[in-house]
């Protein structure tokens, strides 16, 4: 009985403690509170001499070879890896119906030519007979002249048709449009081929790899800061340690859908060591005098919707959107509505809302 009383008294005490108006004790130290709202200044510094951006090597010229007419692959003279010269015969197609078309065109041309010769002889005879007054009426002579001109025009038309069929037959001989290397072969002898769209699979893919294009995309915020007059330095991921030097050859002068401008650097590849598709790290020279705004890495709040820093204005938090540029181990270049010397919250988080009082 005594033990039951002790249990009941303990339970009453526990309920009383839980139902009391006591508040949780704030165990956060003053040092931790200050660290959470530590502020720092936006600094302005000169841009470094260059910006490191990724690039990719691409062939200087590349073409997908499609047939111009329907046919079967009769002979194939190249394969993947073959080095070819401009005008070299790559393959021969056969189309039996074209031979029939050529014979029909020749027959029509010969017939039209005979008609034109006959009309011309008839007109000349009538013209000679017309020298005798009253022997040939002027109307008959005019009709003969018109018939001769019409037959000559028809003969020229059939001659053009024969030349056209000859040209179509020449399409059966596939030749290289420029010097290069065959990097892909998708047909074999006996395959049926036909003119296709760019989305279809080509018969051959030819690339000019004696010179390559190093393609680099410059972010929008750096477009006006690139020094086009200075050479660029780049290293290839597949060949670490070897640094190459070249000049910017051309730029797109327009921004892509990714808000960046493409530039190209011509790279000589006479020895064939470099391959299209290789990735490179490119040092793009920047104009001297250009300055950037820097903030600590921890001051940038990143979410799925936005990137921003918390600016201290009149003792309150103001969320300011920014875009990130180049970064280092302790600071990041930012672009946005910021001014040098402004106070921002370091180690900020999304718990700080717009208008929060900052002491």
Are the beta carbons of 40 and 332 closer than 8 angstroms? no
Instruction: Point out the domain boundary residue: 141, 166, 191.
Output: 166
- Could you tell me if 69 and 121 lie in one domain? no
Question: Which of 187, 217, 221, 192 minimizes the C-alpha distance to 205?
Answer: 187
Q: What is the pLDDT of residue 49?
A: 65
Q: Within 13 A of 262's CA, how many CA atoms are on the CB side?
A: 11
Q: What is the pLDDT of residue 108?
A: 86
What beta strand segments (E) does 82-136 contain? 83-84, 89-94
CATH of the domain at 303: 2.40.420.20
Residue 241 has pLDDT above 90, yes or no: no
pLDDT band of 16, cuts 50, 70, 90: very low
Q: What is the pLDDT of residue 1?
A: 43
- Could you tell me if 191 and 83 lie in one domain? yes
Residue 82 has pLDDT above 90, yes or no: yes
Residue 352 has pLDDT above 90, yes or no: no
Task: Identify the burial level of 17 via C-beta atoms within 10 angstroms of its C-beta, where 0-12 means exposed, 13-18 middle and 19 or more buried.
Answer: exposed
* Lowest mean pLDDT, pick from 20-29, 144-153, 155-164: 20-29
Q: What is the pLDDT of residue 205?
A: 95
What value does the mean pLDDT take over residues 108-123?
88
- Could you tell me if 111 and 155 lie in one domain? yes
pLDDT band of 4, cuts 50, 70, 90: very low
- Could you tell me if 140 and 105 lie in one domain? yes
Q: What is the pLDDT of residue 165?
A: 77
Residue 251 to residue 263: CA distance in whole angstroms: 4
- Could you tell me if 160 and 124 lie in one domain? yes
Please tell me the pTM assigned to this model.
0.60
In DSSP notation, 202-254 reads: PSEEEEEEEEEEEEEEEEGGGGGGB-TTS-EEEEETTEEEEEEEE-EEEEEEE
Q: What is the pLDDT of residue 26?
A: 47
Are the beta carbons of 208 and 84 closer than 8 angstroms? no
pLDDT tens by residue, 188-223: 999 988 887 666 889 999 999 999 999 999 888 778
Cα 141 to chain centroid distance, Å, stands at 68
What value does the mean pLDDT take over residues 226-235?
86
- Could you tell me if 122 and 240 lie in one domain? no
Print the domain residue range for 246: 51-59+209-285
Within a domain: 10: no
Instruction: Point out the domain boundary residue: 235, 251, 285.
Output: 285
Q: Strand, helix or coil at 265?
A: strand
Strands 316-327 and 83-84: unpaired
Within a domain: 184: yes
Tokens of 165: 């069929």
Residue indicated by tokens 């010769």: 117
* Alpha-carbon distances, residue 308 vs 36, 272, 326 (angstroms): 17, 47, 16
pLDDT tens by residue, 247-306: 888 888 888 877 889 999 999 988 888 899 999 999 888 775 567 788 888 888 988 888
- Could you tell me if 217 and 122 lie in one domain? no
Residue 234 to residue 214: CA distance in whole angstroms: 10
Q: What is the pLDDT of residue 99?
A: 76
Residue 180 has pLDDT above 90, yes or no: yes
What value does the mean pLDDT take over residues 133-148?
83
Residue 337 has pLDDT above 90, yes or no: no
Residue 10 to residue 208: CA distance in whole angstroms: 90
- Could you tell me if 253 and 143 lie in one domain? no
Any bridge partners for residue 41, and if so which?
343
CATH of the domain at 198: 2.40.50.100
Within a domain: 275: yes
pLDDT band of 239, cuts 50, 70, 90: confident
Within a domain: 7: no
Residue 7 has pLDDT above 70, yes or no: no
What value does the mean pLDDT take over residues 220-244?
85
Name the percent of the chain lying above pLDDT 70: 87
CATH of the domain at 225: 2.40.30.170
- Could you tell me if 259 and 128 lie in one domain? no
- Could you tell me if 281 and 313 lie in one domain? no
Count how many domains the chain has: 4
Q: What is the pLDDT of residue 48?
A: 61
- Could you tell me if 42 and 55 lie in one domain? no
Within a domain: 18: no
Instruction: Point out the domain boundary residue: 249, 269, 285.
Output: 285
Within a domain: 134: yes
CATH of the domain at 109: 1.10.287
- Could you tell me if 101 and 160 lie in one domain? yes
Residue 184 has pLDDT above 90, yes or no: yes
Within a domain: 19: no
Residue 164 has pLDDT above 50, yes or no: yes
Residue 3 has pLDDT above 90, yes or no: no
Q: What is the pLDDT of residue 80?
A: 93
Over its C-alpha atoms, the chain yields an Rg (Å, rounded) of: 41
Within a domain: 118: yes
């Amino acid at each position: 009985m005594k033990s039951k009383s002790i249990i009941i008294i303990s339970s009453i005490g526990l309920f009383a403690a839980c139902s009391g108006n006591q508040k949780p004790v704030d165990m956060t130290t003053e040092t931790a509170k200050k660290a959470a709202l530590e502020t720092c200044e936006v600094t302005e510094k000169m841009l470094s001499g260059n910006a490191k951006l990724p690039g990719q090597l691409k062939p200087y010229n590349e073409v997908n070879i499609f047939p111009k007419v329907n046919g079967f692959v009769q002979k194939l003279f190249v394969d993947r890896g073959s080095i070819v010269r401009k005008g070299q015969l790559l393959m021969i197609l056969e189309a039996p119906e074209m031979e029939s078309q050529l014979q029909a065109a020749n027959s029509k041309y010969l017939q039209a030519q005979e008609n034109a010769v006959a009309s011309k002889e008839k007109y000349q005879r009538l013209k000679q007979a017309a020298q005798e007054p009253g022997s040939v009426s002027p109307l008959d002579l005019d009709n003969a002249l018109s018939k001769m001109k019409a037959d000559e025009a028809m003969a020229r038309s059939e001659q053009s048709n024969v030349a056209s069929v000859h040209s179509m037959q020449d399409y059966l001989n596939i030749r290289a449009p420029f010097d290069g290397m065959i990097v892909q072969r998708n047909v074999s002898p006996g395959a049926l081929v036909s003119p296709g769209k760019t989305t279809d699979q080509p018969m051959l893919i030819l690339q000019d790899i004696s010179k390559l294009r190093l393609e680099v995309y410059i972010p929008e915020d750096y477009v006006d800061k690139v020094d086009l007059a200075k050479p660029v330095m780049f290293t290839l991921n597949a060949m670490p340690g070897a640094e190459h030097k070249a000049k910017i050859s051309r730029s797109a002068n327009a921004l892509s859908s990714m808000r960046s401008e493409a530039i190209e650097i011509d790279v000589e590849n006479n020895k064939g060591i470099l391959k299209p598709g290789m990735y490179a790290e490119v040092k793009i020279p920047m104009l001297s005098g250009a300055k950037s705004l820097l903030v600590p890495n921890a001051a940038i709040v990143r979410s799925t919707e936005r990137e921003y820093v918390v600016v201290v204005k009149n003792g309150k938090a103001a969320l300011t959107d920014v875009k990130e540029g180049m970064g280092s181990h302790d600071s990041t270049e930012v672009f946005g509505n910021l001014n040098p010397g402004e106070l921002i919250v370091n180690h900020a988080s999304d718990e700080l809302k717009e208008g929060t009082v900052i002491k």
